[in-house]
Amino acid sequence: MSSTRMSLQDHYNRIESLKKLKPSSEVNRAFSELVEDIIRENVCIEEFSAEQLQVLRQRCGQAEFQLEKKWSEKIINSEKPFETLKEFPYFQNYIKLSAFEYSTLVECCNDLEKTAVFVGGGPLPLTAIIFAERYGFDITVIDRDKEAVKTSQKLFEALDIDAEVKQSDAETFQNYNRFSTIHVASMVGETRDEELNVFKNIRAQIDQHTHIIGRTVHGNRKILYRPVSENVKNLFTVKAERRPSDEIINSTCIMTKN
């Protein structure tokens, strides 16, 4: 933790000045200290303009991608892939977040069929892995990034998990109706319009029995991720929205077709 309290602008300047976002002691420290200050409410989102928030979220997303890519490759090349997976720095956070999402989903669904598509898996689709291994879901992962898809495919093979990984744009994917649960990653789509188009595409294909898990954020946690928009929520019936109060960053929003 920093010896002196940093303002949000201090964090912004520090992260913006990073020449590379691949994992390193400097990069890891910059982002972990930002997250810690957000959780402790030492920084406030009102300090920032919309443009600054967009830049910071993009940098956070890029760094997250690089971290996941490095660890996915490490797991793939490991003699004990599951043991290496558990060494991922945010593994326990994902265990807690997935449990948080799953328990909320169960509360909203009387007869849960365990088929799920994870929209925006990235190179280390940890939530999909946990839903498959801990909760017995048949899973499919889609991502529009070719590199992320190739890495994910190798990762599932290394972990001996039966999963389908497809390169597809969430705005045009045509098989949402095959799944009882649709898990949508934080900040799906580059813009608000793209985000809305993704959810419109989902809505056009599903019936009232399909449940959508929208990973979102609240309060100062919105410094890191863009929350699910009200325009998206207005497309659906919001069955539950739960917000964490501990080190978990993301909230969860369960939606169905109205």
Q: Is 43 within 8 Å of 12 (Cβ atoms)?
A: no
Give the residue-averaged pLDDT of 145-154.
96
d(CA 258, CA 255): 9
Tell me: pLDDT of 2 over 70.
no
Burial of 39 (0-12, 13-18, 19+ CB in 10 A): middle
Write the CATH number of the domain with boundaries 91-257.
3.40.50.150
* pTM (predicted TM-score): 0.94
Please give the angle made by the CA atoms of 45, 245 and 11, to the nearest 5 degrees: 30
Averaged confidence pLDDT in the chain: 95
The upper half-sphere exposure of residue 24, i.e. CA atoms within 13 Å in the direction of its Cβ, equals 8
Give the residue-averaged pLDDT of 201-228.
96
Confidence of residue 136 (pLDDT cuts 50, 70, 90): very high
Residue 164: phi, psi to the nearest 5? -100, 125
Confidence of residue 110 (pLDDT cuts 50, 70, 90): confident
Tell me: pLDDT of 4 over 90.
no
pLDDT digit string (tens) for 114-131? Answer: 999 999 999 999 999 999
Give the residue-averaged pLDDT of 1-29.
88
pLDDT digit string (tens) for 156-188? Answer: 999 999 999 999 999 999 999 999 999 999 999
User: CA distances (Å), 198 to each of 16, 23, 80, 232, 245, in order?
Assistant: 29, 30, 37, 9, 29
Reference 218, options 249, 239, 183, 240; nearest CA is 249
Other beta carbons within 10 angstroms of residue 179's beta carbon come to 24
